[in-house]
Amino acid sequence: MAKRRGFGKLRRLPSKRWQASYIGADQERHVAPVTFTAEGDAESWLNEERKLLESGDWTSPAAREAARQAQNERDSLTLDDFVSRLWLPTLDLRPATSRDYESLMKNHIRGERPKLGDLPLASITRADVRAWWASMDASKPRARSKAFQLLHNIMNGAVDLELLDVNPAVLPSRTKVRTKRATDVEPFTVEQLQTTADAMPPRLRMAVLLGGWCGLRYGELSELRRSDLYLDQVKVPAELRKKVTAPALHVSRGVIKVKGGYEVGPPKTAAGVRWVHLPAHLVPDLKEHLKLHAAFGRDGLLFPAPNGGHLHANSFARLFTKAATAADRPKATPHVLRYTGVSLTHAAGGTIADNMKRHGHATPAMSLHYAHSMEGADADVAQKLAKLGEGKKK
């Protein structure tokens, strides 16, 4: 039987326990989430609900219970759970990037002491992050830096989802996280580029020249096909002829080595899909290469492996480093070609925007990272300044 009172209603159940309910601010009846042994306990619950209504802080008991459970779940959510359940699934990662992230998680974020992956996400403090950073092998600065950057990005994701108020992955300002500067990679001079290309096997000579003059990533270079080349203006799609002139090549794919073979996919970023105009001096050699070395057919690879298919990056790198010795650059790797392409564009008068468009950079910072002053450039600048000075004297 229900027992009426000034606020709410009490009801004695057949089990002899008490049920409490009331009409809330939403004009709906709300029942206590539990029943009570003593009538006084039921009345106390109603009194607390009345206080919430009078204060203006009221939400329904069901909503508060849901919020409590959600908070409990947030409090118990580990960093590892957050990454696997809530963060990674929202990212559109290339397979290679996904594998890199998993390797960093396994070897550093889960594997180091303290094991950050096992800690509740909400409990991780700056002190925890600093202890983790200090525990990592300082003799491997690149891996250490990449692991920290991943952790920082993960925590930013947690802040975006309002699971954290601030990002705890912050180190003291004096701590050096970035360990490699752009100046660590010295671009080829034009002479070094040509010498290295001439020292390569003939079938790969053009790969070095295209890589250097056009600044292509190796994955883009090794996936180039005959159908990507437009050496005749007539072959350029009609809708693009106003902004694309031959000779040019179209970059729309890259290839990476995966377990069991190769995987072809889009470039690393949307900006990577682009048209790259070819310096005219490359065209005669490129036409000769197509006759002698490229695979047959419209979709034949420009630089196939000797037995067909894609050329393994390691195979190209070995040949490249050996050839670069002829240019007095015995430690050069194929990645120097991308730096060379950006730096040559800069030396030719290209703006940051030109470099971004030509090399598929998503941000100005990335173009600046690759751009270097070419050897002899300062002398050229001095000559131009002198001409300006002479003009002022007149």
For 215-282, the DSSP string reads ---HHHHTT-BGGGEE-SGGGS-GGGTTT--SSEEEE--EEEEETTEEEEE--SSGGG-EEEEPPGGG
Strand boundaries in 34-131, DSSP class E? none
For 337-370, the DSSP string reads HHHHHHHHHHHTT--HHHHHHHHT-SSHHHHHHH
User: Which residues does the annotation mark as catalytic?
Assistant: 217, 335, 338, 361, 370
Taking a C-beta distance cutoff of 8 angstroms, is the pair 336, 197 a contact? no
Note the maximum CA span of the chain. Answer: 110
C-alpha 243/C-alpha 57 separation (Å) is 62
* Structure-block tokens of residue 245: 């002139």
Tokens 């295209």 identify what position? 210
Helices (H) and strands (E) in the chain, counts: 15, 9
C-alpha 53/C-alpha 87 separation (Å) is 38
C-alpha 7/C-alpha 205 separation (Å) is 89
Q: What is the dihedral of CA 265, 88, 108, 259, to 10 degrees?
A: -30
